[in-house]
């Protein structure tokens, strides 16, 4: 590095390379993304959000909700689940005996305890998941053996991982989920729960609004700050507002008063309701 | 005139030429440092008392935290870094600062941009992209100001008497080239009327944030340290070859990190980033070796606070770099993503490393350019210990808390409320650290403020004396 030009060249080449790799290449790969077709279906995903949801995203941005909430569920893997849907000629007791007879198979060796426990106290209700495995070959083999004796079963694909177990998502978030988000706010801290699927988890706008006004009224021990500035506490006029929040106990407003959400609050609730990452896609398959 | 006298004369001229531009950059930076730290404390209050700002949206956690982060980076670190850079360029060129008026204008434009940006975030106008929250108006001001400073820096660089480049030159010149590129890219892509669709936005923002917070601060901090450490310890910088190697590998690998492992993007992106992050260990080790070799056995009897600040800043650089690499290691990222760990690492990078080195440099430069010693030299010492204690108390509990939080989040049997409650004590401890850092920053502000006032009084007195002085008889018309 004898001259200024050599430093310039070194910087130009290195930053240029990373610019091509991490700015240009993703923009070319994903910048022209369109709606996808749902796996094994004809519907497209994601749907264009409603006007209220689009405006609500701006309320989400202005109040920096993404500082505490992520919008990305993760999964650690997928498993195949064999679920019985019809026993054919078998009675539950005979079927149990048949399944136990399969325990000698070497490939099922590591599943015998789980299967045994799941069918021991089972009295025949359907559908009944009997085998959960990360190995698709074993699941197919099991399904074939059940089919051979006339027992009906189906194979479900399920995502796994702590986020899925917490109910934060049905599958992991993928690029397609953010097609219409502007700006995309993925978040990097989970001081609050993940919201990528809140529209499926809490479909009720009233409950979402109540949570925004007084988090403690919906979730005990919530550490979320209240967003009271998105609401108006006012005297009840000639008739109570149909939008008024249904608050009880220590969260209720003084008698003669009601808590009414502002338009911003309604937009925000509409946005939260629109967050539904619930479609199986080729890059994130699951059986709905 | 003997050479020593010429040299002294030249140094005095350089320092005098830097006086007003540096005062404009440093004064504002110190003010924003105090504001940013105070706002950071306000932000975290929402965790101690959730409903504190329920009726006041301006100071809610999300807004105040974003504004505080940006104040520390755009308000303090960048203008302070630019000021230090101008002075180092001028000293290394052995020439007075070229176009001294330009950086004065630039400093004012920059601080105006930061003011507009901060106010907009607090009012709810943030763009929503982490580290790029300032609106277009502020971005235009910041970029213009940066380019103006770059013009002065390049001109001063061009006037250098000794054509040879020093290691500090490489790092600082690279920083000068890096910022306009990444800032322009991020703004043109993300704040245009037709931003790219979907997650491309997040990818570009990660690229930008990594290049700014990790690489830009890294270049400026290490460049500054590689100027001051040899100068103060009285030994040349150890191994020029190692330093060159560190510089090249830092810009080669450091530019590719930043995409977290959990990102909902095509898998090649996080994979590439984690490989690059692993390779960042190479420049980290090289920089550590050069630093240790340079400062070991330095025969300095009383190193002064600048040396302490910069030494510690380099230690924080290595620590923060290692923690940064951990975040991109797939094994650890599964636990560390989405926790306070990343927040703590960023604060260590900003306050423990960048601010530490820049503060050390400012305490060395200020008395020189002002031509008077610091009004309260003991405050500089105290500031060092407050920042040291504060940074440790701020970041270490959050790092531990982050790991704990991540492990609890990974176990779906633990209810989410329990996870949250488990972090609160760590947060409380870290807030005390923030307060210590804030007190330290106030001491710096006091030093700069008193210095400026004294200088202005001096100017006023000189002007008054010039007015009152009897006219020379030769000039009196007869």
Of A136, A160, A184, the one marking the end of a domain is A160
Residue B298 has a pLDDT of 65
Tell me: do A264 and A171 sit in the same domain: yes
pLDDT band of residue A1 (cuts 50, 70, 90) is low
Least confident of A2-16, B122-136, B233-247, B292-306: B292-306
Residue B303 has a pLDDT of 60
- Mean pLDDT confidence for B13-28: 95
Q: What CATH number does the domain containing A117 carry?
A: 3.30.1390
Tell me: do A136 and A255 sit in the same domain: no
Q: Is the CB of A14 inside 8 Å of chain B's CB atoms?
A: yes
What is the secondary structure of B23-71 as a DSSP string? HHHHHHHHHHHHHHHHHHHHHHHHHHSTTTTTT-GGGSHHHHHHHHHHI
Tell me: do A65 and A126 sit in the same domain: no
B68 falls within a domain: yes
ipTM higher than 0.85?
A: yes
Residue of A nearest to B202 (CA): A184
- Mean pLDDT confidence for A40-49: 91
pLDDT band of residue A52 (cuts 50, 70, 90) is very high
Q: CA–CA separation, A122 vs A281, rounded Å?
A: 34
- B2 has a pLDDT exceeding 60: no
Closest by CA position to B305, among listed B348, B354, B359: B359
Residues of chain B with pLDDT > 70: what percent?
96
- B472 has a pLDDT exceeding 60: yes
pLDDT band of residue B337 (cuts 50, 70, 90) is very high
Task: Tell me which residue range forms the domain holding B158.
Answer: 1-164
**Which residues 15-34 of A are in CB contact (within 8 Å) with B?**
15, 17-19, 21-23, 26-27, 29-33
Q: Is the CB of A262 inside 8 Å of chain B's CB atoms?
A: no
- Mean pLDDT confidence for A249-278: 94
CB contact under 8 A, B339 and A190: yes
- Mean pLDDT confidence for B125-149: 97
Residue B5 has a pLDDT of 62
Q: Is the CB of A100 inside 8 Å of chain B's CB atoms?
A: no
**Which of the pair, A98 or A27, is modelled with greater confidence?**
A27
A130 falls within a domain: yes
A129 falls within a domain: yes
A153 falls within a domain: yes
Tell me: do A172 and A269 sit in the same domain: yes
A7 falls within a domain: no
Residue of B nearest to A225 (CA): B50
Judge contact between B117 and B185, C-beta under 8 A.
no
- Mean pLDDT confidence for A110-121: 84
- Mean pLDDT confidence for B265-271: 95
A22 falls within a domain: no
- A7 has a pLDDT exceeding 50: yes
pLDDT band of residue A112 (cuts 50, 70, 90) is confident
Least confident of A26-35, A120-129, B154-163, B391-400: A120-129
- Taking CA atoms, A241 is separated from A2, A251, A258, B251, in Å, by 76, 18, 8, 61
- B365 has a pLDDT exceeding 90: yes
B58 falls within a domain: yes
Question: For A265-284, what is each residue's pLDDT tens digit?
Answer: 999 999 999 999 999 999 99
Residue B1 has a pLDDT of 42
Q: CA–CA separation, B81 vs A123, rounded Å?
A: 73
Judge contact between A98 and B165, C-beta under 8 A.
no
Chain B neighbors of A165, CB-CB under 8 A? 412
Of A160, A194, A213, the one marking the end of a domain is A160
HEC string of chain A? CCCHHHHHHHHHHHHHHHHHHHHHHHHHHHCCCCCEECCCCCCEECCCCCHHHHHHHHHHHHCCHHHCCCCCCCCCEEEEEEEEEECCCCCHHHHHHHHHHHHHCHHHHHHHHHHHHHHHCCCCCCCEEEEEECCHHHHHHHHHHHHHCCCEEEEEEEEECHHHHCCCCCCCCCHHHHCCCCCCCCCCECCCCCCCCHHHHCCCHHHHHHHHHCHHHHCCCCCCCCCHHHEEEEECCCCCCCCCCCCCHHHCCCCCEEEEECHHHHHHHHHHHHCCCCCCECCECCCC
Q: CA–CA separation, B54 vs A251, rounded Å?
A: 14
Q: CA–CA separation, B468 vs B462, rounded Å?
A: 10
- B304 has a pLDDT exceeding 80: no
Pairing of the two strands A128-133 and A152-160: unpaired
Residues 6+ apart with CB under 8 A from B455: B23, B370, B372
- Mean pLDDT confidence for B222-227: 96
Residue of A nearest to B273 (CA): A22
CB contact under 8 A, A11 and B129: no
Task: Tell me which residue range forms the domain holding A90.
Answer: 77-160
β-bridge mates for residue A261, sequence order: A231
- Mean pLDDT confidence for A70-81: 93
Query: Which of B58, B70, B128 is the best substitution to test chain A (most A C-beta atoms within 10 A)?
Result: B128
How many residues appear in chain A? 288
Give, as one character, the DSSP assignment of residue B470.
P
What is the secondary structure of B252-287 as a DSSP string? HHHTT----TT-SS-THHHHHHHHHHHHTHHHHHHH
Tell me: do A192 and A264 sit in the same domain: yes
Tell me: do A62 and A144 sit in the same domain: no
Question: For B81-132, what is each residue's pLDDT tens digit?
Answer: 999 999 999 999 999 999 999 999 999 999 999 999 999 999 999 999 999 9
Chain A neighbors of B46, CB-CB under 8 A? 225
Helix axes B356-370, B416-468, angle to 10 degrees: 10
Closest by CA position to B71, among listed B47, B51, B42: B42
Nearest to A3 among B165, B255, B423 (CB): B165
Judge contact between B362 and B443, C-beta under 8 A.
no
Tell me: do A183 and A61 sit in the same domain: yes
Q: CA–CA separation, A193 vs A16, rounded Å?
A: 38
Compute φ and ψ for A189, nearest 5 degrees: -140, 135
Of A160, A180, A201, the one marking the end of a domain is A160
Give, as one character, the DSSP assignment of residue B213.
I
- Mean pLDDT confidence for A233-240: 92
Residues 6+ apart with CB under 8 A from B241: none
Looking at every residue in chain B, the average pLDDT score rounds to 93
Tell me: do A59 and A188 sit in the same domain: yes
Helix, strand, or coil here: B234?
coil
Looking at every residue in chain A, the average pLDDT score rounds to 91
What is the C-alpha R_g of chain A?
26
How many residues appear in chain B? 478
CB contact under 8 A, A33 and B198: yes
Question: For A144-163, what is each residue's pLDDT tens digit?
Answer: 888 888 888 888 999 999 99
What is the secondary structure of B175-208 as a DSSP string? HHHHHHHHHHHHHHHHSSSSPPPTTHHHHHHHHH
Residue B3 has a pLDDT of 55
A3 falls within a domain: no
Peptide bond just before A182 cis, omega within 30 deg: no
CA end-to-end span of chain B: 40
Helix, strand, or coil here: B414?
coil
Tell me: do A188 and A221 sit in the same domain: yes
Residues 6+ apart with CB under 8 A from A261: A209, A212, A213, A230, A231, A232, A243, A245, A269
Helical (H) or strand (E) element with B371: none
Helix, strand, or coil here: B94?
coil
Residue B302 has a pLDDT of 59
Tell me: do A249 and A221 sit in the same domain: yes
Total domains in chain B come to: 1
Tell me: do A54 and A90 sit in the same domain: no
Compute φ and ψ for A92, nearest 5 degrees: -50, -40
CA distance B43 to chain A (A): 11
β-bridge mates for residue A232, sequence order: A260
Residue B134 has a pLDDT of 97
Residue A126 has a pLDDT of 82
Q: What CATH number does the domain containing A230 carry?
A: 1.10.760.10
Q: Is the CB of A218 inside 8 Å of chain B's CB atoms?
A: no
Tell me: do A267 and A200 sit in the same domain: yes
B427 falls within a domain: no
Nearest to B124 among A12, A62, A184 (CB): A62
Q: What CATH number does the domain containing B143 carry?
A: 1.20.120
CB contact under 8 A, B173 and A184: no
What is the C-alpha R_g of chain B?
23
β-bridge mates for residue A37, sequence order: A44
A34 falls within a domain: no
B95 falls within a domain: yes
Residue B422 CB burial class (10 angstroms; 0-12, 13-18, ≥19): middle
Residue A149 has a pLDDT of 86
B42 falls within a domain: yes
Helix, strand, or coil here: B338?
strand
Residue B240 has a pLDDT of 86
- A31 has a pLDDT exceeding 60: yes
Closest by CA position to B439, among listed B387, B391, B370: B387
B398 falls within a domain: no
Judge contact between A146 and A82, C-beta under 8 A.
yes
A21 falls within a domain: no
- B4 has a pLDDT exceeding 80: no
- Mean pLDDT confidence for A68-91: 90
Judge contact between A66 and A186, C-beta under 8 A.
yes
Residue A121 has a pLDDT of 80
- B478 has a pLDDT exceeding 60: no
């Amino acid at each position: 590095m004898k001259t200024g030009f050599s430093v310039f060249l070194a910087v130009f080449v290195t930053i240029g390379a990373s610019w091509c790799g991490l700015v240009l290449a993703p923009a070319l790969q994903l910048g022209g993304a369109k709606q996808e077709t749902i796996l094994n279906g004809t519907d497209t995903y994601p749907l264009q959000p409603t006007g209220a949801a689009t405006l609500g995203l701006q309320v989400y941005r202005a109040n920096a909700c993404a500082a505490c909430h992520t919008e990305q569920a993760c999964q650690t893997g997928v498993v195949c689940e064999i679920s019985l849907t019809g026993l054919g000629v078998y009675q539950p007791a005979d079927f149990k005996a048949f399944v136990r007879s399969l325990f000698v198979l070497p490939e099922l060796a590591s599943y015998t305890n789980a299967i045994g426990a799941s069918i021991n106290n089972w009295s025949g209700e359907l559908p009944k998941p009997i085998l959960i495995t990360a190995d698709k070959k074993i699941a197919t083999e099991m399904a074939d053996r059940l089919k051979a004796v006339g027992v009906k079963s189906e194979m479900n694909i399920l995502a796994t991982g702590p986020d899925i177990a917490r109910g934060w998502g049905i599958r992991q978030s993928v690029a397609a989920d953010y097609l219409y988000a502007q700006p995309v706010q993925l978040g990097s801290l989970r001081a609050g729960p993940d919201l990528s699927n809140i529209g499926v988890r809490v479909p009720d706008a009233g409950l979402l609004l109540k949570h925004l006004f007084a988090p403690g009224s919906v979730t005990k021990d919530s550490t979320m700050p209240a967003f009271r500035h998105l609401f108006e506490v006012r005297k009840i006029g000639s008739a109570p507002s149909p939008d008024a929040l249904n608050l009880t106990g220590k969260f209720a407003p003084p008698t003669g008063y009601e808590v009414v959400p502002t338009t911003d609050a309604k937009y925000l609730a509409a946005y939260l309701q629109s967050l539904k990452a619930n479609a199986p896609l080729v890059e994130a398959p699951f059986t709905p | 005139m003997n050479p020593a006298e010429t040299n002294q004369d030249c140094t005095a001229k350089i320092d005098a030429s830097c006086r007003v531009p540096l005062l404009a950059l440093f004064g504002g930076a110190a003010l924003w440092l105090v504001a940013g730290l105070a706002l950071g404390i306000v932000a975290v209050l929402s965790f101690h008392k959730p409903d504190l700002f329920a009726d006041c949206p301006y100071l809610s956690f999300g807004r105040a935290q974003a504004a505080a982060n940006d104040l520390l980076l755009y308000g303090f670190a960048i203008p302070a870094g630019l000021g230090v850079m101008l002075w180092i360029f001028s000293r290394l060129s052995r020439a007075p600062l070229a176009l001294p008026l330009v950086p004065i204008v630039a400093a004012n434009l920059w601080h105006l941009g930061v003011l507009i940006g901060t106010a907009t975030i607090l009012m709810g106008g943030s763009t929503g992209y982490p580290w790029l929250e300032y609106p277009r108006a502020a971005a235009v001001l910041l970029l213009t100001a940066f380019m103006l400073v770059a013009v002065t820096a390049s001109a001063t660089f061009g006037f250098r008497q000794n054509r040879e480049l020093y290691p500090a030159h490489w790092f600082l010149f690279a920083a000068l080239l890096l910022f306009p590129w990444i800032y322009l890219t991020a703004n043109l892509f993300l704040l245009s009327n037709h931003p790219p669709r979907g997650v491309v936005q997040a990818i570009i923002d990660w690229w930008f944030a990594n290049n700014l917070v990790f690489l830009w601060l890294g270049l400026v901090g290490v460049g500054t340290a590689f100027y001051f450490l040899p100068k103060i310890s009285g030994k040349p910088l150890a191994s020029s070859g190692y330093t060159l190697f560190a510089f090249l590998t830092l810009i080669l690998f450091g530019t590719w990190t930043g995409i977290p492992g959990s990102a909902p993007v095509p898998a090649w992106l996080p994979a590439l980033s984690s490989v690059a992050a692993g390779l960042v260990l190479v420049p980290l080790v090289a920089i550590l070796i050069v630093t240790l070799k340079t400062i070991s056995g330095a025969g300095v009897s009383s190193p002064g606070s600048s040396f302490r600040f910069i030494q510690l800043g380099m230690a924080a650089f290595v620590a923060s770099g290692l923690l940064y690499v951990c975040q991109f290691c797939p094994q650890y990222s599964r636990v560390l993503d989405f926790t306070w760990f990343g927040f703590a690492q960023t604060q260590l990078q900003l306050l423990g490393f960048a601010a530490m080195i820049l503060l050390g440099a400012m305490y060395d430069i200020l008395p020189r350019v002002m031509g008077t010693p610091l009004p309260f030299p003991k405050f500089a010492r105290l500031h060092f210990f407050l920042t040291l204690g504060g940074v440790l108390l701020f970041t270490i509990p959050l790092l531990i808390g982050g790991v704990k939080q991540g492990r609890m989040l990974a176990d779906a049997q633990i209810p989410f409320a329990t996870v949250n409650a488990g972090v609160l004590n760590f947060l409380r401890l870290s807030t005390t650290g923030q307060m210590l850092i804030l007190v330290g920053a106030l001491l710096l502000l006091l030093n700069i403020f008193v210095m400026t006032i004294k200088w202005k009084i001096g100017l006023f007195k000189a002007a008054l004396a010039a007015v009152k002085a009897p006219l020379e008889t030769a000039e009196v018309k007869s």
